[in-house]
């Protein structure tokens, strides 16, 4: 029967509780607990190996995404250069339209755009003021204050744990 890590943990805790109720010498108790922990440790190693395998697969996918994004950008850039090349040569020759069964090429004027030559010379009435970011708690400062023994209303320090697989 193939038990899950959770089931093995439950069984280990139940067996440890039963052993605690028995009046066994300390060395016998330690040996018995060590024997019981073998299956738990083996299953834990297998679960950790599976987690590392998933992380490695995720990293490979991340690298593939990066490579595909780079390839997409290269293709977009190349298409942009080819469009600019086509526009430049149509403008140079004075040709404003070319038709074919698949599409139509036309040289068109873009809407007028404002070019800023000296931003400092622009009157204030023509300047936009960006919305300031909302205030955010300075967690590093709050942690230092709490560690120094003072209280910060609405805050507390918590200590969590993580699994490290090396």
Angle at CA of residue 36, ends 11 and 165, nearest 5°? 90
Enter the tokens of residue 56. 């490695």
**64 in Cβ contact with 50 (< 8 Å):** no
Helix (H, G, I), strand (E, B) or coil at 131: coil
Domains in the chain: boundaries: 1-104
pLDDT at 26: 77
Distance from C-alpha of 34 to C-alpha of 28, rounded to nearest angstrom: 10
**pLDDT value for 1:** 66
Q: What is the pLDDT of residue 95?
A: 94
Beta pairing partners, 98: 105
Question: Helix (H, G, I), strand (E, B), or coil: what is residue 94?
Answer: coil
Q: Splitting the chain (166 residues) into consecutive groups of 10 residues, what average pLDDT does each group show? A: 82 80 77 79 88 95 98 97 95 94 93 93 92 94 95 93 80
What is residue 35's predicted lDDT score, i.e. its pLDDT? Answer: 78
3-state secondary structure of 57: helix
Q: CA triplet 132, 133, 135: central angle to 5 degrees?
A: 115
> CA-based angle 48:41:166, to the nearest 5?
40
Whether pTM exceeds 0.95: no
């Amino acid at each position: 029967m193939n038990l899950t890590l959770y089931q093995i943990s439950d069984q280990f805790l139940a067996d440890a509780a039963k052993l605690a109720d028995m009046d066994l010498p300390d060395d016998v108790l330690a040996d018995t607990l060590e024997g019981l922990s073998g299956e738990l440790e083996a299953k834990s190693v297998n679960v950790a190996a599976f987690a590392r395998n998933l992380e490695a697969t995720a990293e490979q996918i991340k690298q593939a995404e990066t490579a595909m994004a780079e390839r997409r950008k290269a293709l977009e850039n190349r298409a942009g250069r080819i469009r600019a090349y086509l526009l430049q040569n149509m403008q140079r020759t004075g040709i404003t339209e070319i038709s074919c069964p698949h599409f139509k090429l036309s040289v068109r004027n873009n809407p007028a755009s404002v070019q800023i030559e000296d931003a400092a010379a622009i009157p204030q009435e023509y300047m936009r003021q960006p919305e300031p970011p909302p205030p955010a708690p300075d967690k590093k400062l709050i942690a230092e204050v709490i560690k120094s023994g003072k209280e910060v209303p609405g805050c507390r320090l918590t200590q969590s744990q993580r699994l490290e697989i090396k």
